[in-house]
């Protein structure tokens, strides 16, 4: 019984780490604009702020706010080229997590 209990504890600890990371990511991207940015970057790779604004039809200040927040939380990375800033996904696994949610049959 003790061996089984230890095995369950080990598996729970591993699972707990995954759940904590998933919760962190979900909290970070819990906004329609952020989800749209991630979807766009997962399809296009690296994109400039102006291009993201045009595709999403959002104000640059709003898009920049979300991009900076996701960068600070480790979801995105950026590269500056002159006056332009280009963003791409740093955490590529995020697309797997979001695909699970998208494929969830929960009548949304």
The CATH architecture of the domain made up of 2-98 is Orthogonal Bundle (1.10)
Q: What CA dihedral angle connects 92, 20, 70 and 108, to 10 degrees?
A: 80
Q: What is the pLDDT of residues 1-40, one digit of tens each?
A: 676 677 788 888 888 888 898 888 889 999 999 999 999 9
Residue spans of the domains in the chain: they are 2-98
- Give me the pLDDT at residue 108, please: 56
- Give me the pLDDT at residue 107, please: 64
Q: CA nearest 77: which of 69, 85, 88? A: 88
pTM to 2 decimals? 0.81
Q: Band of the pLDDT at 98, cuts 50, 70, 90? A: confident
- Give me the pLDDT at residue 3, please: 67
């Amino acid at each position: 019984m003790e061996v089984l209990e230890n095995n369950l504890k080990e598996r729970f600890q591993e699972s707990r780490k995954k759940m904590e990371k998933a919760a962190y990511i979900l909290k970070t991207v819990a906004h329609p604009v952020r989800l749209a940015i991630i979807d766009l970057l997962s399809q296009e790779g690296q994109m400039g702020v102006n291009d993201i604004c045009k595709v999403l039809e959002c104000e640059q200040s709003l898009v920049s706010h979300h991009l900076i927040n996701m960068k600070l939380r480790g979801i995105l990375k950026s590269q500056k080229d002159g006056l332009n800033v280009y963003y791409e996904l740093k955490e590529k696994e995020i697309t797997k997590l979001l695909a699970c949610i998208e494929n969830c049959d929960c009548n949304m």
